[in-house]
Amino acid sequence: MCGIVGLSHHKEAGKIAFLGLYALQHRGEEAAGIVSYDGQQMHVVKKDGLAVDNFDEENISRLKGHMAIAHTRYSTTGSSQSKNIQPLVVNHRKKTMALAHNGNLVNTEELCTKLEGEGSIFQTSMDSEVFMHLLAKTPNGNMAEWLTKVFVQVKGAYSVVMLLNDCLVGARDPQGFRPLCLGKLGDGYILASESCAFDLMNAEFVREIDPGEIVIIKGNKLESIYLPGSREAQKAFCIFENIYFARPDSTIFGDNIYQVRKRLGARLAIEHPASADFVLGIPDSGNYAALGYAQQLNMPFEQGIIRNHYIGRTFIQPTQFLREFRVRVKLNPIRDLIKGKRVVVIEDSIVRGTTSRSRIEGIREAGAKEIHMRISCPPIKSPCFYGIDFPSTGELIAHNKTIAQIADFIKVDSLGFLSLGGMLSVMKEKGNFCSACFTGQYPTDIPKNTDKLKLEK
């Protein structure tokens, strides 16, 4: 999962792009980069680490120009190496192109083999680089035709922003796996993964980019085209964006994330009520489902677990050691509130089970008399191939254990997961979501080689 930003027709595009990255930091904490364009050349600043650490007044001042794209990285293909930091920038035929990508392609290996056979030399180990080689090899007389010829060749999940030939370009795959929003700031346009970025920029949220849509922005003029067949294609919005990844103040897939999570919690209460003294949410995303759960059952809701906001998102840490360490540092139960009480703990999901086990252990140590855990999505049984780093089936606890066995492993008195039907019932786009991580039924062909590091081997 990554965050992307693009701006056009603004005299301080680089500075505004930084604000966008800051708002989208939750989408990736491994690296961040910004590329600006002043009409003659591109200016690049990209480093490992958080956006707030990477950009100061000195290097932001180097990002001159009226256009910019930006990226904050959470690696789902390719390891955490400097060569894999986006945006990607290449020089070709006396022109410079830059690209930032969110999502995973499913025909990467096929395209890489073809392109290398035609003489392409890959510099990174990311699927994102495929776009650059296709752009370089495809005849580029007319911009709309050029882009269409490129994007019809790639399959899978992509939301991208690009700087090409004095234009800002945004594109979203025909099934719409990953979000991409369009905003307006003054006379110029902004593209961002989530609408919350526009709030920090003091920009207007216009709409979401449609699945299969390509927008070509030159100055303050916008042209929109659609890939062939994209309007009729079955949509596959990533439902895990609603459950966990997106910020609650964002509107994506036609719905506000805060409201979605409250509805998930309310539905969970209908399916799996529990008798307890109060409801606790696991910060942050679990809090909103916990509020909906408590309101549905007319139970007290307490914020009895305090988050250290200087610690990043536990889920996206690259090693199990860091995940377990950050669970302890990040969340701390309030002992005086919890001691001797029966509590319902609401969590957004269980992936490996080790994080949940550590959290429950902390609540037990705080003196809870009973712990009833409720999860605001179904059991995650299958890996994701579209841009979320869910592990192999061997690491997914729900693939290998029953719900009773999971409850025993994480040491709770009872455990309940929201049903698939219940989850989909609260969504506005009920039939347009990808839920393959719960069902194992994928909306595209799955690549033979699913290794995250396949392009490094």
pLDDT digits (tens, 9 = 90+) for 415-426: 999 999 999 999
| Residues of the chain above pLDDT 70, percent | 92
* Strand, coil or helix: 80: coil
Domain with 313 in it: what CATH number?
3.40.50.2020
Q: What is the CA radius of gyration of the chain?
A: 22
Residue from 342, 363, 376 nearest 274 by CA: 342
- Distances in Å between the Cα of 99 and the Cα atoms of 85, 107, 114, 158, 159 are 11, 19, 21, 12, 11
Q: What is the mean pLDDT of residues 229-254?
A: 96
Clarify whether residues 330 and 367 are in a common domain: yes
pLDDT at 322 over 90: no
Asked if 398 and 406 count as a contact pair (C-beta separation under 8 A), the reply is: yes
pLDDT tens, residue by residue, 186-223: 999 999 999 999 999 999 999 999 999 999 999 999 99
Clarify whether residues 280 and 161 are in a common domain: no
Instruction: Please report the pLDDT score of residue 394 as a whole number.
Output: 87
Claim: this prediction has a pTM higher than 0.75:
yes
How far apart CA 156 and CA 280 sit, in angstroms, is: 37
Instruction: Please report the pLDDT score of residue 285 as a whole number.
Output: 86
Q: What is the mean pLDDT of residues 375-403?
A: 92
In a domain, 13, yes or no: yes
- Distances in Å between the Cα of 39 and the Cα atoms of 69, 164, 188, 189 are 14, 11, 15, 17
pLDDT tens, residue by residue, 131-148: 999 999 988 779 999 999
Clarify whether residues 217 and 260 are in a common domain: no
Domain with 212 in it: what CATH number?
3.60.20.10
How far apart CA 286 and CA 308 sit, in angstroms, is: 15
Clarify whether residues 257 and 338 are in a common domain: yes
In a domain, 304, yes or no: yes
Clarify whether residues 218 and 266 are in a common domain: no
Amino acid letter at 340? Answer: G
Clarify whether residues 125 and 256 are in a common domain: no
Clarify whether residues 80 and 225 are in a common domain: yes
From 207, 233, 259, the end of a domain falls on 233
pLDDT tens, residue by residue, 323-382: 555 556 678 999 999 999 999 999 999 999 999 999 999 999 999 999 999 999 999 999
Q: What is the mean pLDDT of residues 94-106?
A: 93
From 233, 267, 296, the end of a domain falls on 233
* Strand, coil or helix: 336: helix
Clarify whether residues 384 and 288 are in a common domain: yes
Q: Mean pLDDT highest for which of 91-100, 208-217, 384-393? A: 208-217
pLDDT tens, residue by residue, 40-78: 999 999 999 999 899 999 999 999 999 999 999 987 765
From 233, 260, 295, the end of a domain falls on 233
Q: What is the mean pLDDT of the chain?
A: 92
Q: How many domains does the chain have?
A: 2
In a domain, 175, yes or no: yes
How far apart CA 181 and CA 414 sit, in angstroms, is: 40
Clarify whether residues 214 and 257 are in a common domain: no
In a domain, 243, yes or no: no
Instruction: Please report the pLDDT score of residue 165 as a whole number.
Output: 83
In a domain, 238, yes or no: no
What range defines the domain where residue 288 resides? 251-440
Instruction: Please report the pLDDT score of residue 72 as a whole number.
Output: 96
pLDDT category at 269 given cuts 50, 70, 90 is: very high
Clarify whether residues 267 and 386 are in a common domain: yes
pLDDT at 315 over 50: no
**Active centre residues (catalytic):** 2
Clarify whether residues 119 and 64 are in a common domain: yes
In a domain, 453, yes or no: no
pLDDT tens, residue by residue, 281-302: 999 889 999 999 999 999 999 9
In a domain, 158, yes or no: yes
Contacts of 298 (CB under 8 A, 6+ apart): none
Clarify whether residues 390 and 296 are in a common domain: yes
